[in-house]
Amino acid sequence: MISVELYALLTTLYNALHSIPVHDITDSDPATDKWEVQLRKGCLELAILAALWSGKRYGLELLRRLESDSDLIVSEGTVYPLLSRLKTSGLVQSEWVESDAGHPRKYYALTTAGRQRALEMAAIWERFSSSMSRVLAQ
């Protein structure tokens, strides 16, 4: 059974990430593209923390999870520096684990501080997205 806290975080994140529109690149405006890129970058830290909520993941697994669950297509060159910064900030921890594939994988997991930060960020996102929805509905 999941906690109310976890359910609220996951629901908020799911709604947040699925509210970001994905548009057809062939019919795009450069100004809109730049705005969308910035919006997605701003959501990436929350998305990573939420993707790690259920347990440890290695880098490529994390990239695939973000891609499949949120339509956030990010490169390794974007995610790994962010994971490094999150580790330096004490929000994630990492460990090398031998894999059946023959080479070790670096797994990332949330720390207690990382869980707290994810909850705080989800609450901020919820307030922000609610207020934006009200503005857009007018």
Kindly report, residue by residue over 27-38, the tens digit of the pLDDT. 567 777 888 888
Residue 14 structure tokens: 């799911």
Q: Is position 25 within any domain?
A: no
- Which has more confidence, 7 or 124? 124
User: How many structural domains does the chain have?
Assistant: 1
The CATH number assigned to the domain holding 36 equals 1.10.10.10
Q: Is position 12 within any domain?
A: yes
pTM for the whole structure: 0.76
Torsion over CA: 62, 67, 68, 70 (sign)? positive
pLDDT tens for 67-102 read: 888 878 788 998 999 999 999 999 999 999 998 878
How far does Cα 80 stand from its chain's mean position? 13
Which domain does 13 fall in, by range?
A: 4-20+30-137
Q: Is position 63 within any domain?
A: yes
